[in-house]
Amino acid sequence: MNPSPLDAKLDALVGGKTATALAKAFGMKTVGDLVGHFPRRYAKRGELTAVADVPLDENVSIVAEVLDVRSRPMRAKRGSILEVRLTDGSGGTITLTFFNQAWRERDLAPGSRGIFAGKVSRYRGTLQLAHPDYELFDDNDTGVDADSGAAMDAGMDAEAWAKQPLPLYAATSTFSSWQMAKTIALVLPTLSDLPDPLEGVLSDAERTERGLLPFVEALHLVHQPTEDLDWQRARDTLRFIEALVLQAALLERRAEARSHRATPRPAKLAGLLARFDAALPFTLTGDQQLVGDEIASDIAADIPMSRLVQGEVGSGKTLVALRAMLQVADTGGQAVLLAPTEVLAAQHLRSVERVLGAELCTLLAPTLITGQLPVAQKRAALLRAAAGQAHIVIGTHALLQDNVQFFDLGLVVIDEQHRFGVEQRHLLHAKAENVPHTLVLTATPIPRTVAMTAFGDLDVSVIRELPAGRAGITSHCVALAEHPGWMSRVWERVAEELALGRQAFVVCPAIDGATLEEDDGGAGGLSSAEGASSRRLSSAEGAYRNPESGFDTSTSLTTQPAGAPLSAVTEVLEQLRALPVLAGRRIEALHGRLSSDEKDSIMRAFADGAIDVVVATTVIEVGVDVPNASTMVVLDADRFGVSQLHQLRGRVGRGGVPGLALFVTDAEPDTVARERVEAVAATTDGFELARIDLELRSEGDVLGARQSGGRSGLRLLRVTRDGDLIAEARDIAAGILAADPGFVAHPALREAMTRRLDESERAFLDKN
C-alpha cells in the first residue's frame, strides 16, 4: 500500500520552523497528528453574548476587551493564578482565570480585544471563565484579525461572515489558535485521496441513514465549517470512526492474546481447593461464587485468561484470587501474587497464611519475595520458587527480576492493576513456558463504557456484593464555609473514638506548606504505589493547568482558586500534638518523602496499635489493613477526586468496628468541588460514585493521569456521552473481526487501527 498522506512528516508541508514549534508544543510529527488536533470549540461572530448577561454554567463566546491583568500565587504556594478582567462595554465584567499560565499575561495585555469562549462559572460572586479558548484580534476597529485568516474573504457577505463558525483550538504560548487554523489549512489539500476507514463497514445507505460524511469531507469540515451543521456532522462522523477504530484495535488485540496457548488448569474433585472450601469459616457471597466460576472455567481452558475483577475494598477479591491459585496448585502449577508495595506483599502473605491454615500452608509453601528480604532468606525463597515447591509466591516488583524463576508458572494475579504496566506483565509471562493466565484485581469502580474503552481487551467481572456482617461506615461532609466552628468538633470526635480504644487517620493533600504529595519516584523505574496514587492528585490539578491536553477542562477538579493554604502533614501534625483533647496520644506523620523503611515502620506500629493517629498524605490509600482504625478525617477533601476519597474511606470500617469518615472542606456550596465531596459523603456505592464522578469531571480526569500525558487519549469520544456509540461500535467491530480476522477486506480500517495503536497509544492502553 502507498504511504498514507497522514503519515507525511510535517516539516515538508508546513516549514521547518512551524513543524518544530508543533512538535515542541503538542508532540506532533505527522499530518495525521495535526489534522487530528480538532477544534475544542466553535465561536460565532454573529451570536455573541453580552458580558452583562452571560448565563451561568453555559458555554458562551464573547467579544471583549481586556481591562486589567493580575497574577498572584496559588494557595498551595506552588504555581500562580492569572486573572484577566474583560469588559465589552455592555456594562458587566467577567474574569478569565488561568492556573500556572502566567505567560498568557504577555498575550492578554490591557486593551487587547478578541473572542473568548468557555464555560461560565461563578466564584465568590464573580463571573469567570476558567481556561477559556480565545483568539485575539489585531485590528481594534473591525474586530478582524488581518493575519489570522479570520478576515472576511473578498466576496463573502457580512452575514455569512458573521455566521461562520470560528474554530478555536487548544493553544500554547508558542502556538495560537489562529496559527493552528492556518497551518491545518496548509495540509488539508494533501488529504484528498485518503482512504475511508468506513469503506466496506457501512453501506452507502447505512452511512446516509446515520448522517455520516465521507472521511475526507469530515476532516475538512471539522476544521473549516461554513455553518454549524458542518462541524456537527463532521464530528459525528469522526467520533463514529474513532469508536470503531478503537474497538476494532482492542478486540483484535484480545484475539491476538487468545491465540497463544496456556496450560489448562482444570478443577480437581477432591483437591486442595476443595479442601480449602470445606474449611472456609464463611460462605462465599453470590458474586464471589459467580466470578469464581468464571475464573475456574477460564483457567481450565488452553486459552490464556485475561480477566479484570473489580470490587470494592473488602468485597473478597483476594479470596477469589486465592481460590484460583489453589486450582492451579491442584494441577501442580504455581501462582504469583504481585502487590504494589512491600507492606502490602507482607500483609498478603500473612493473610494468605492465616486463611489457608497450617496444613495447606505446608503443602503450598506460600513464599514471599521482595527486595528487602535478607540475603539468605531470599536465596531460600528463590530456590523454592525455581524448584516448584512454592505453589504460591507473593511479592513486589522484585519478582520481575531475572534471578526469579519458576518451575511451572500457571497464574499471575496482579493486585491493584494500575500500578503495573504491561511491560511488567510481559516480564512475568516470560518466566513461564506457556503464557500464564492473568487475573487483575482492582478496587476502582469502573463504569461499563470506561471498561469497554480502557480495558476493552480484558474480560471484566464485577463483585458488587459485600460479605455480610460488615460494621459499615458513616460519612459526613464537614462544610467549613457555613460552619467554621465544626473543625474543633471534628477533633473532639476523633478523641472520642480514640477513647474507645480505636485509631484514626488524618489525610492532608500536602506534605508541608510548599510541597504537595508528589510522585516519589519508586524503585527501579516502577512507580511505587505511593507515587501512583499521589500522582492522581497532581494530575487532577494538571487537568486544569493544562488545557493543551485537549480535554474539556471546564468542569475539572478545582474551580476554586483562592482561600486558606492547603492542609499539610507537617503542620497538622504539630497542631494535633498541641491539641488538649488529644493530649497523651501518639501521633505520627506518614508521607511520600519518608524512606520506605520509615513508612513501613510507621504503618507497622499503627497496625500494632502503638500509634493512635497517623497524619498522612494519600500514601495510605492503597490496601493497608488496620481493622482497629475506625476514623478517617480528610482535610481539604475537595482537593481529592471522587474515587480517591472513596478509596481513602475504604481504609476504615473494615473490621467489626464501625467506621467514620469526616470530609472537611471549605468549598462554597453549589460548587462542583463541594458537590463532589457531598456525593462521596452521601453514598458508599462505588459504582454510583463512579457515575457521579463521570458527570462532574471530564473524561481526561476519569481515564486519569495515565491519559493526560500525551496526545494518546480519546479525541472526540466521551465515555459519559457516547456509551451507546461505543457499545455499537464494539458490536460492529466484533462482526468485522469474525468475518475478516485479518481485516484483509478492510485495509483502510486496518491502517487506521495501526495508526491508532502506534507506540505511545500502546503504552497508554497497556497501562490501563
Q: Give the shortest CB-687-to-ligand ADP separation in angstroms.
A: 15
Residue 318 found at the interface with ligand ADP (CB under 6 A): yes
Task: Enter the C-alpha cell of residue 186.
Answer: 496548509
Site string for ligand ADP, 458-477 (x = CB under 6 A): ---------x----------
Q: What type of residue sits at position 717? A: L
Among 214, 314, 513, 565, binds ligand ADP (CB under 6 A): 314
Number of residues that bind Mg ion (CB under 5 A): 1
User: Residue 178 in contact with residue 150, Cβ under 8 Å?
Assistant: yes
User: Which residues fall within 8 angstroms of residue 444, CB to CB, at 6 or more apart?
Assistant: 310, 418, 643, 647
User: Which of 164, 224, 315, 647 lies at the binding interface for ligand ADP (CB under 6 A)?
Assistant: 315
Report the first-to-last Cα separation within the chain, whole angstroms.
Answer: 32
367-369/392-395 β-pairing: parallel
Exactly one of 4, 30, 176, 288 binds ligand ADP (CB under 6 A); that residue is: 288
Give yes or no for residue 370 binding Mg ion (CB under 5 A). Answer: no
Residue 584 in grid coordinates: 497523651
| Smallest distance, ligand ADP to C-beta of residue 768, A | 20
Which range in 279-287, 292-300, 552-560, 720-728 contacts ligand ADP by CB under 6 A? Answer: 279-287
**Which cell is 272 given?**
486442595
Distances (CA, A) of 227 to 247, 392, 448, 634, 723: 31, 64, 35, 49, 27
Is 319 an interacting residue with respect to ligand ADP (CB under 6 A)? yes
Q: Does 647 bind Mg ion (CB under 5 A)?
A: no
The Cα 596–Cα 524 span in angstroms is 14
Among positions 365-394, residues that touch ligand ADP (CB under 6 A) are none
Residue 702 dihedral angles phi and psi, to the nearest 5°: -65, -50
Candidates 164, 306, 310, 318; binder of Mg ion (CB under 5 A) is 318
Using rule CB under 6 A, residue 282 touches ligand ADP: yes
CA distance to 250, 303, 730, 734, per residue, from 457 (Å): 5, 14, 11, 12
Only segment of 70-78, 284-292, 366-374, 735-743 that touches ligand ADP (CB under 6 A)? 284-292
Least distance from C-beta 95 to Mg ion, angstroms?
A: 47
284 part of the interface to ligand ADP, by CB under 6 A: yes
φ, ψ at 545 (rounded to 5°):
-70, -20
Residues 336-365 that bind ligand ADP (CB under 6 A): 355
Nearest CB to ligand ADP, comparing residues 313 and 495? 313
**Residue 285 in contact with ligand ADP, rule: CB under 6 A:** yes
Near ligand ADP by CB under 6 A, which window of 120-128, 172-180, 278-286, 338-346? Answer: 278-286
Cβ–Cβ under 8 Å, residues 242 and 726: no
CA distance 752 to 755: 5
Name the nearest CA neighbour of 767 among 378, 288, 426: 426
**E strand intervals along 351-458:** 367-369, 392-395, 409-415, 437-442
How far is it, in rounded angstroms, from Cα 557 to Cα 541? 7
Q: How far is the CB of 650 from ligand ADP (least distance, A)?
A: 8
The nearest distance, CB 203 to ligand ADP, in angstroms, is 48
* Contact flag: residue 767 with ligand ADP (CB under 6 A): no
Cell numbers that stand for 705 in this block:
493521569
Q: Residue 103 interacts with ligand ADP (CB under 6 A)?
A: no
* Residue 442 binds to Mg ion (criterion: CB under 5 A): no
Rounded to whole angstroms, the Cα distance separating 127 from 92 reads: 10
315/396 with CB nearer ligand ADP: 315
Q: For ligand ADP, how many residues bind (rule: CB under 6 A)?
A: 14
289 in contact with ligand ADP (CB under 6 A): no
User: Under the rule (CB under 6 A), what is the footprint of ligand ADP?
Assistant: 282, 284-285, 288, 311, 313-319, 355, 467
